Structure 1
Amino acid sequence: MNQPLSHHLLTMAYQNAWANHRLAKAWGQLSAVELAAPRVSFFPSIVATLNHILTCDWFYVDALERERRGDEPHHDCYVFFKDDQPFTAAADLKREQAHVDNRLIAYCEQLRDADLGRLVTIARDTPQHDSRLRMLSHLFEHQIHHRGQVHVMLSATAVKPPQLDEFFCVGEAGLRVEDFAELGWTEELIWGH
Structure 2
Amino acid sequence: MSRTAHIALLARYNEWMNNKLYEAASGLPAEELTADRGAFFGSLLATLNHIAVADILWLKRIGGHPRFAAALAPVLALSTPIALDQPLFDSLPTLREQRAWLDRLILDWSAGLAEADLDAVISYRRVNGEANQRQLGLLLLHFFNHQTHHRGQATTLLSQAGVDVGTTDLLLLVPEAEA
On whether the aligned pair clears a TM of 0.5, the verdict is yes
Contact 1:61 1:103 in 2 (8 A): no
Aligned counterparts of 1:87 and 1:100: Cα–Cα separation in 2: 14
Q: Which residue of 2 aligns with 1:111?
A: 113
Name the counterpart of 1:168. 173
Which residue matches 1:186?
none
1:4 is matched with 2
Q: 2:38 aligns with which of 34, 37, 40?
A: 40
| Per-residue CA distance 1:92-119 (angstroms, 9 max, x = gap) | 1111011111111122111111221101
Match of 2:122 among 120, 131, 154: 120
Identity of aligned residues (%): 29
SS at match of 2:122: strand
Deviation, structure 1 residue 69: 3.6
Distance 2:30 2:42 in 1: 14
Q: Relative to structure 1, is the Cα distance of residues 108 and 47 closer, same or farther in structure 2, using a 3 angstrom cutoff?
A: same
110-119 or 133-142, which moves further after superposition?
A: 110-119
Q: TM-score of the superposition, structure 2-length normalised?
A: 0.83
TM-score calculated relative to the size of structure 1: 0.78
Query: Number of aligned pairs?
Result: 166
- The yes-or-no answer on 1:86 pairing with 2:88 is yes
Aligned to 2:75: none
Q: Give the stretch that moved more between structures: 80-89 or 125-134.
A: 80-89
What displacement does 1:50 show?
0.5
What is residue 134 of structure 1 aligned with on the other side? 138
Moved over 6 A (4+): none
Equivalent-residue separation in structure 1 for 2:95 and 2:172 (angstroms):
23
Which amino acid letter does the alignment assign opposite residue 115 of structure 1?
Answer: D
Indicate the SS of the match to 2:62.
helix
- In terms of fraction of residues, the more helix-rich structure is 1
DSSP 3-state at the match of 1:10: helix
CA RMSD of aligned residues (A): 2.4
For 1:33 and 1:26, how far apart are their aligned partners in 2? 15
Look up the equivalent residue of 1:144 and give its one-letter code.
T
